Chain A
């Protein structure tokens, strides 16, 4: 039940993009068509969902004081987290290249750049600071990824729709994408404030 709460919270209420504005670079750059956005979104769900538990294990059993080495190695956290993320992205890249060359071509440089997608490292760091358990970190990873996925396909559909709009020249492209992100953030504020955990226990 707690894992479900964390999933819902990460996906809708504390959306990575629209509440924390994390992972903006690929979010803005790859959201021109729904198809590519869909592919990248799935890749992010996968990477977030798999790096989160791995990083949890590393943090718990290698870096913490009562881990394998018996000393506090948390200063290595960033390097190790990034290394894990990079290797996972490498894996995703190989799979996509084999499975769907057209998607691979359209994602281009942004696929390897998931490595430095702040949403992914941010997710791992949230996990540490919020002291999630193993199960919760899996739920948080999948939920955060799903929220990111929803946000990017929604903005991609909007950007496809406004392609033929008479937008003032100065705002075309990125300017519009920023305004859109802000407006979407307002819309997502509708769910902010819901506390699934409190509701489940009946206190409101």
Chain B
């Protein structure tokens, strides 16, 4: 089997001189199937190695549970909003297929745009395809709202890969997290299209002030309807149903910002928030699945537990201080409940620990994580302009990570100089 695959690759290998672009492409896929002899062992920013696929693939594996649950949850939220199949496992096939119809185009557009730019630059610079986009490409769909228009997605991915990464020299050289840069671009460049309450549940449209209805289903739904009818299963129908009474589409954070924890528990139970059967970005709602991924990353030594722990401590400390202050209803939300809402764990496990943009010294990681926790909680609770703070807090600390490293190193040098001098004197 392995031999046959190798032979196949050898046979189709394009000529490097005559068709350099095709060869770059070939090399990228070849190294997927067969590890080259030279691989890097540490982080992606350490430039000795030639191939980073092991590091990258582990992150992608860790994200799989989020993908599966996120896809299903899109469908689940859609049907809950129109009041059908409200039980979690009811209408399983409808929810799953609906989720796939939403997630697959997002996934494909992200990869076509991102990898396209990556492939082009690899060819242009005359080196192998860098694997950096594997992780960014897996992360970006998870942090987008399910109803994002695909052209906005394409522009934001292009911006992040181009300006955020390729301008800096490619994988491992970027200063800001590429996936977050794509998300922040959507957030700031298209505030009217992509903010508010409507985007978090798929295929629900606003038809008037405070009035919503589900959109008409697409041709893809119709295709599956035929299939389901053939099996004798429940079908989508044509769509356009009215939503249930009292539907707002608001996420827990939006409710908490307005009226505090009481308003949140009126709409969602803590169990729902914990397991993630709530509206939100595609992959960030389910806390246990994210924590499984985080444990996997720590166990394989890919992500830094120092950053995760210090970020958690920083966020708890800040939330507790805000409880003490308690000037607004949002500040009064008990600190433990802050973690039920929003994307804290996703940011902690997969975003803050990105080894390229985080601080690289151990002491620096503690400082970096704790400051993300503090800044993120401050932005979430104190800043009325933004619903959630972790994306911006991580970008904010990405900017300061090199500075933290610089002073940690400097301090270390000074301390050791002192020790050496004391030894010399004695």
Contacts and interface: CB of A to CB of B under 8 A. Distances in A.
A26 B125 CA distance: 33
A190 B167 contact: no
Nearest to B124: A168
B405 interface: yes
Interface secondary structure of B, over-half rule: helix
Interface stretch (A47-55, A87-95, A105-113, A181-189): A181-189
Interface of A is mostly: helix
Given A193-B384, A193-B386, A194-B383, A165 B173 contact: yes
Contacts of B389: 190
B170 A158 contact: no
Contacts of B398: 187
B298 interface: no
Interface string B368-402: 00000001001100111110010011011011101
A174 to B, nearest CB: 13
Given A34-B406, A166-B170, A167-B167, A186 B184 contact: yes
B379 A158 contact: no
B403 A157 contact: yes
Contacts of B399: 154, 158, 183-184, 187-188
Nearest to B176: A183
Nearest to A180: B175
Contacts of B175: 158, 161-162, 180, 183
Contacts of A154: 399-400, 402-403
A192 B386 CA distance: 9
B344 to A, nearest CB: 15
Interface string A144-167: 000000000110111011100111
A68 interface: no
B385 A187 contact: no
B397 to A, nearest CB: 8
A178 to B, nearest CB: 11
A190 B393 contact: yes
A184 B385 CA distance: 19
B76 to A, nearest CB: 31
Contact of A186 (B188, B327, B400, B405): B188
Q: Which 3 pairs show the lowest CB-CB distances between chains A and B?
A: A193-B385, A190-B392, A166-B169
7 contacts: A153-B403, A157-B406, A191-B396, A194-B385, A202-B327, A202-B328, A204-B330
Interface of B: 125, 163-164, 166-170, 173, 175-176, 181, 184, 188, 327-328, 330, 375, 378-379, 382-386, 389, 392-393, 395-396, 398-400, 402-403, 405-406
